[in-house]
């Protein structure tokens, strides 16, 4: 009886170890390391021609994973909206495209279905982006929150 209980304990530890290893194998980056982009980024400020732009009430967020970008918004009443597009980082330019007519970009000042943003500053916790739209330079400061 004691030997059977000892074998049961060994089997239980093997199952726990296998379950732990299996759960740790998942890749949260979905297809590769995209640091520093991976995660959730909060839009801290938007300026147009150096003047602060008032956005619609609430907070805008970007989430990057693999080649998909999620643009989301929420307000203090927890109303939400979201849109999905594709993104690339090439040669100091962040490109975001929202090509699906059912998922246009949200109403963030200066954003359209196709955006070529110059990466002015890039760190692990803060990014400054800019793009020129109709002769006006829009500057976006985003801060990593997760």
> 121 CB contacts (<8 Å, ≥6 apart)?
127, 128
Query: Of 62, 69, 81, nearest to 30 (Cα)?
Result: 69
Q: How many domains does the chain have?
A: 1
- Average pLDDT on 40-54 reads 94
Is residue 75, in this structure, part of any structural domain at all? yes
- Exposed, middle or buried by CB within 10 Å (0-12, 13-18, 19+), for 98? buried
Q: Which domain holds residue 82?
A: 39-144
pLDDT (0 to 100) of residue 2:
65
Kindly state the tokens that stand for 41.
């980024």
pLDDT in tens, 94-130: 999 999 999 899 999 999 999 999 999 999 899 999 9
The CATH number that applies at residue 105 is 2.40.128.280
Is residue 122, in this structure, part of any structural domain at all? yes
Residue 7: band (very low, low, confident or very high) from pLDDT cuts 50, 70, 90: confident
pLDDT in tens, 49-101: 999 998 778 899 999 988 999 999 999 999 999 999 999 999 899 999 999 99
């Amino acid at each position: 009886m004691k030997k059977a209980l000892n074998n049961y304990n060994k089997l239980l530890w093997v199952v726990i170890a296998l379950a732990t290893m299996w759960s740790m194998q998942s890749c949260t980056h979905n297809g590769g390391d995209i640091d520093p982009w991976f995660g959730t980024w909060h839009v801290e400020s938007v300026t147009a021609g150096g003047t602060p732009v008032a956005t619609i009430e609430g907070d805008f967020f970007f989430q990057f994973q693999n080649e998909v970008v999620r643009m989301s918004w929420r307000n203090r009443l927890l109303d939400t909206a979201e849109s999905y597009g594709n993104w690339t980082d090439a040669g100091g330019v962040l490109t975001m495209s929202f090509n699906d007519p059912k998922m246009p970009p949200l109403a963030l000042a200066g954003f359209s279905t196709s955006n070529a943003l110059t990466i002015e500053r890039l760190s692990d916790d803060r990014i400054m982006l800019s793009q020129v739209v109709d002769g006006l330079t829009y500057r976006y400061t985003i801060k990593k929150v997760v």
